[in-house]
Amino acid sequence: MRRMRRDSIDDMFDRMQNLFDEFQGKADLKGFRGMPVDIHEEDGKIVVKADLPGISKEDINLKADKNKIDVSAESSTAIQEENEKYFTRERTSRKFHRTVSWPAEINPETVTAEYDDGVLTVTAEKTESEGKDVEIE
């Protein structure tokens, strides 16, 4: 009976975990295939920046509510030469999808978005919710 080395087993489990993480939309930064985001607060507004290099503005879908923002994009390109005897014909297709929770509740009516040089910037105003006093009976 062939005995597996410990490194091989660890490698197998690492690959399985990466597959599960990809399926669930998670990934560590060294193998990150999604869209990295930065989230910060600026002048009472929440700002989310997402890197989407090589994607045109028309290929980006954005949906926001008071708790989260959903960003998806799809892009495909084909490189062809007009020569019948081609040796290489390359095509690429990329899909991005990410749902990000706002760090605070926002007003969905104030959400704005800009896309410049491969960076999507989404801005929203925070709602001023102080909660409700509850009387104990």
pLDDT tens-digit readout, 58-99: 999 999 999 999 999 888 776 666 666 766 667 777 788 889
For 54, left (φ over 0), alpha (ψ -120 to 50), or beta?
Answer: left
Looking only at the bridges linking them, the beta strands covering 90-101 and 60-64 are unpaired
Is the distance from CB of 111 to CB of 123 less than 8 angstroms? yes
Fold topology of 34-125 = Immunoglobulin-like (2.60.40)
Q: What is the pLDDT at residue 47? A: 96
pTM higher than the cut 0.75: no
Q: Which two tokens stand for residue 129?
A: 């919710």
> Mean pLDDT over all residues of the chain?
79
The full DSSP string for 36-83 is: -EEEEEETTEEEEEEE-TT--GGGEEEEE-SSEEEEEEEEEEEE--S-
Residue ranges of the domains in the chain? 1-33, 34-125
Share of the chain above pLDDT 70, in %: 72
